[in-house]
Amino acid sequence: MVTPAPETTMSDATKPCPVCAETIKAAALKCRFCNTDLAAYAVEREAATEKVLFQGHPLVHQTVGHWVVTVCTLGLGAIYYWVKSRALTYTLTTHRIQISQGIFSTLEQTIDLYRLDDFDLHRPFGMRLLGLSMLHLRSSDPDLPVAFVQGVPGLDTIADQLRESALRDRQRRRVTTFINA
The amino acid at residue 19 is V
Q: Say if 178 falls within a structural domain.
A: no
68/40 same-domain check: no
112/133 same-domain check: yes
Q: Which of 11-15, 79-83, 164-168 is predicted least confidently?
A: 11-15
97/64 same-domain check: yes
94/166 same-domain check: yes
**CA-closest candidate to residue 79, choices 89, 90, 66, 88:** 66
Q: Say if 83 falls within a structural domain.
A: yes
With a cut of 50, say whether residue 173 has pLDDT above it. Answer: yes
12/99 same-domain check: no
77/144 same-domain check: yes
Q: Say if 181 falls within a structural domain.
A: no
* pLDDT given at position 4: 55
* pLDDT given at position 59: 96
User: Where in the sequence is the domain holding 45, given as residue range(s)?
Assistant: 1-49
147 Cβ contact partners less than 8 Å away, ≥ 6 residues apart: 97, 99, 109, 111, 137, 139
Q: Which of 63-67, 78-82, 95-99, 174-178 is predicted least confidently?
A: 174-178
With a cut of 90, say whether residue 180 has pLDDT above it. Answer: no
Q: Is the dihedral of CA 119, 125, 65, 61 positive or negative?
A: positive
What's the mean pLDDT in 28-39?
90
Distance between CA atoms of residues 33 and 169, nearest Å: 29
pTM value is: 0.78
8/69 same-domain check: no
The amino acid at residue 177 is T
61/20 same-domain check: no
Domain count, the chain: 2
Taking only the tens place, the pLDDT of each residue in 141-162 is: 999 999 999 999 999 999 999 9
State the SS3 of 106-144: CEEEEEEHHHEEEEEEECCHHHHCCCCCEEEEEECCCCC
73/132 same-domain check: yes
With a cut of 70, say whether residue 181 has pLDDT above it. Answer: no
CA angle in degrees (0–180, nearest 5) for 16-26-24: 45
Q: Are 59 and 132 in contact (CB under 8 A)?
A: yes
Q: Say if 17 falls within a structural domain.
A: yes
54/89 same-domain check: yes
Among 49, 73, 89, residue at a domain's last position? 49
13/93 same-domain check: no
Q: Say if 180 falls within a structural domain.
A: no
What's the mean pLDDT in 31-48?
85
**What band does 8 get if pLDDT is binned at 50, 70 and 90?**
very low
Taking only the tens place, the pLDDT of each residue in 71-127 is: 999 999 999 999 999 999 999 999 999 999 999 999 999 999 999 999 999 999 999
DSSP 70-94: HHHTTTHHHHHHHHHHHTEEEEEES
Distance between CA atoms of residues 59 and 67, nearest Å: 12
What's the mean pLDDT in 35-56?
87
1/64 same-domain check: no
Identify the bridge partners of residue 90 per DSSP, sorted by sequence position. Answer: 56, 99
